[in-house]
Each structure stands twice: as C-alpha cells, then as structure tokens.
Amino acid sequence: MPTTRARTCPSRSRPRSSSGSARTGDVTYTDNYYTLAHFSRFTRPGATRIAASVAAAEGDTAPVQASAFTNPDGSTALVLHNPSTTVAHTTTISAPGVHVTTKVAPDSTVTYTWARP
C-alpha cells in the first residue's frame, strides 16, 4: 500500500478578513491564503483534476469538501476542507491502493498525497 502523507492547516486562529498597508508593508494573511497554499504546494503544473466525492452524514449542514488531482509524476493529491466551525468530521479515503480513515478538524484544510500504486 502506498504511503499517504497529511498536511493540515487549521484556520480557526487566523483572521477571516484581509488587511494591509501599502505605506507600512503590513500584511494579514487570511484563510483563503492558507487554503490556496495547499493547492499550489501539492498540485503540480500539468496536474489533471479527477473525481472526488464525499458522502455527507444525514443532517450534516457543513459536509467536508474535496478536490483531487493526478500530478504529472503519477502521484495523487487530495485536498479536504471542513467548513464547519464546531464539528470535526471522520472521513474515509478510498482510492486504488489507498484506504485511510482520518478526522478533519473544524474549520481546517488537510491535504493527502500518495504515489501511484
């Protein structure tokens, strides 16, 4: 079974809005900045988006969101985002050669990567 690696990016402690000053050069990084970092770090140029789906639990008003990509080297990157600010979600990742159950913390983004089976 290929090794999966997870990178988390909890964003609860980060500001939700952006601010900055051209005069002082001060910058405040937002949730979107850190989420975009997952895509730009693990999805390589030339990657192809592939199908990814999440089965939400009954009554779940903020299910985990997923995007998956196959990189040119054959590796796969799966980015999961939990928009709930209070509930952690247990998620099972099933792909050829990969079966992992993990918990996605509230208001966080996590990326899983694995090599071609």
Work out the mean pLDDT of the chain and round it to a whole number.
Answer: 81
Torsion, Cα 29 32 37 40, to 10 degrees, reads -140
- Evaluate if residue 104 carries a pLDDT over 80: yes
Token pair of 21, please? 């000053």
User: What would you report as the CA-atom Rg of the chain, rounded to the nearest whole angstrom?
Assistant: 16
Tell whether the model's pLDDT for residue 1 goes beyond 60. no
Q: Look up the pTM and report it.
A: 0.74
Find the mean pLDDT for residues 84-108. 90
How buried is residue 49: exposed, middle or buried, by Cβ count under 10 Å (0-12/13-18/19+)? Answer: exposed
One-letter amino acid at 116 equals: R
Q: pLDDT tens digit string along 31-78?
A: 888 888 888 899 999 999 999 988 877 777 788 999 999 999 999 999
